[in-house]
Amino acid sequence: MTLKGMRVLVTGGAGYIGSHVARQLGEQGCEVVVYDNLSTGHAWAVLNGDLIEADLADTKRLCSVLATGFDAVLHFAANIVVPESVANPLKYYENNTLNSFHLWRLCSENNIKHVVFSSTAAVYGVPKVTPVSEEAPLAPINPYGASKMMSERILLDLEYSGGPSFVSLRYFNVAGADPEARIGQATPHATHLIKVACEVAAGLRSGMTIFGSDYPTPDGTCVRDYIHVEDLAAAHIAALEHLSGGGASQVLNCGYGRGYSVKEVLDAVRRVTGSDLPVLEGPRRPGDPAELVADSRRLRTVLNWSPQWDDLEAIVATAWRWERFYATKRAQ
Is-contact 280 210, C-beta < 8 A?
yes
**Which of 66, 35, 67, 39 lies closest to 52, judged by CA?**
35
pLDDT at 82: 86
CATH 3.90.25.10 residue ranges in the chain?
193-224+257-331
Residue 190 pLDDT class (50, 70, 90 cuts): confident
**Which of 187, 190, 268, 188 lies closest to 226, judged by CA?**
268
Give the CA dihedral 167, 121, 219, 321, nearest 10 degrees.
60
Instruction: Please determine, for residue 330, whether its predicted confidence score (pLDDT) is greater than 70.
Output: no
The dihedral built from the CA positions of residue 207, 209, 213 and 219, taken in this order, carries a sign that is: negative
Is-contact 125 143, C-beta < 8 A?
no
Instruction: Please determine, for residue 291, whether its predicted confidence score (pLDDT) is greater than 60.
Output: yes
Tell which CATH architecture fits domain 193-224+257-331: Alpha-Beta Complex (3.90)
What is the pairing mode between strands 260-261 and 223-224? Answer: antiparallel
Q: For the domain 7-174+227-254, what is the CATH superfamily, name and number?
A: NAD(P)-binding Rossmann-like Domain (3.40.50.720)
Question: Of these residues, 16, 35, 144, 171, which one is catalytic?
Answer: 144
Is-contact 312 266, C-beta < 8 A?
no
Is-contact 242 30, C-beta < 8 A?
no
Which pTM does this prediction carry?
0.96
Reported as a single tens digit per residue, the pLDDT across 61-76 is 999 999 999 999 999 9
Reported as a single tens digit per residue, the pLDDT across 148-181 is 999 999 999 999 999 999 999 999 999 999 999 9
pLDDT at 188: 79
| 171 has catalytic annotation | no
Residue 151, number of CB atoms within 10 A of its CB: 25
CATH 3.40.50.720 residue ranges in the chain?
7-174+227-254
Instruction: Please determine, for residue 332, whether its predicted confidence score (pLDDT) is greater than 60.
Output: no
